[in-house]
A = this chain, B = another copy of it.
Amino acid sequence: MLNQSLDLAFQALSDATRRDIVARLAGGPLSVSELAKPLPMSLPAVLQHLSVLENAGLVVSAKSGRVRTCRLEPSAIAQAEQWLTAQRGEWERRLDRLAEYLNSPEGDAT
């Protein structure tokens, strides 16, 4: 499959809990337990969400002593963003060309 990484990125972002994690990491790196504190679920559940995000390349983490610190990886996010921009952009260019055609003399149903 081409673009399996987009599969993983979009799949990771399809969950509100994981988007919340991403949004909070956008404000700066956090440890696992800091991430888990406000979330209404067990710590292992949060770990599973983090592993989905890491697997998708959206988040990277490193362990120092006994605390694992997580931070955002913007390049994977940018990749998903660019795919969306490309599709919407293409479609909007099409609509523009259509409008242009309809406003041109040959476009009129004269």
Contacts and interface: CB of A to CB of B under 8 A. Distances in A.
Interface in A1-40: 1-4, 6-7, 10-11, 13-16, 19, 22-23, 25-28
A81 B85 contact: yes
The majority secondary structure among interface residues of chain A is helix
Interface residues of A, number: 35
* Copies per assembly: 2
Interface of A: 1-4, 6-7, 10-11, 13-16, 19, 22-23, 25-28, 72, 74, 77-78, 80-81, 83-88, 90-92, 94
5 contacts: A26-B86, A28-B94, A77-B84, A78-B88, A84-B84
